[in-house]
Amino acid sequence: MTTTPVALPTYFLSHGGGPWPYMTGPFREAMRPLEASLLQMRRELGDRPQAALVISGHWEAKGFAISSGARPGMVYDYHGFPEVLYRIRYEAPGSPTLAARVQALLAGRGHPARLDADRGFDHGTFSVMKVLYPEADLPVVQLSLDAGLDPALHLDMGRALAPLRQEGVLIIGSGLSFHNLRIFGSAEGHAPSRRFDGWLQETVLQSAPQERERRLLAWTSAPSARIAHPREDHLLPLMAVVGAAWDEPATRTYHQQDLLGGLTVSSFRFGALPAAAA
């Protein structure tokens, strides 16, 4: 008698600022609530994931692109940090096999994707993976956003990826629920981030699947939407993981109201934890 593999949940993670896990001092201390949420996530997942697929808000391509190198390098896509933070390494392996599987799933739903053997880990990926898997022994593949930034396309992309959840692949959308660099660190972001976060929680946690889809597709009508996201690059990873867990309930896994000068941000899990971890 065979058993059906348990589907892993998907996650939208607000990934914090820059290379924070490699830092010390006040900036690093401000990320402690985020760190605690990631450590709890790892405890809940245990050894169930066999690989991770990260859709990062820091990689856009014409069409979709998939990192396919066996030994990915690093992409230091941040500015103004100490020089030593441009020499850090996260040494997790890639997975050409998983990359090809992702490519096939996307193609099967009408979304051509190219393999990119040279793409390294950007900080949308290594910032969270460093805390989740400090051993760097879990294979990691990155999937880009499409540069057209169409919410419907990214929801459908997520639907294509859904079978991976029963294949031991942890699907992570790495972005930030409030991402307006101009007002990070200022009081100007306090009220807009709270308003947008309130709408996001109502949408994600309280809406039925079809209503959740409708609201996400119309996200620009949310309170303070374009203050929260002048560009939607850090919101679209949410669309992808919602698509991969289409009709499953969500749980808030991280919430902070004092990030980077008083911003409100959240992370979410979609789908149930495996029974042993619930």
**pLDDT class for 5, splitting at 50, 70, 90?**
confident
What pLDDT does 186 receive? 85
The pTM score is: 0.96
- Predicted confidence at residue 108, as pLDDT, reads 98
DSSP type of residue 204:
I
Give pLDDT, residue 2. Answer: 47
Per-domain residue ranges of the chain: 10-277
Which homologous superfamily does the CATH classification assign to the domain defined by 10-277?
LigB-like (3.40.830.10)
Mean pLDDT of 140-151: 98
**How would residue 253 be classed by pLDDT, with cut points 50, 70 and 90?**
very high
Note whether 267 and 254 are within 8 A (CB): yes
Residues 6+ apart with CB under 8 A from 238: 12, 173, 175, 177, 204, 216, 268
Closest CA to 39 of 58, 57, 21: 21
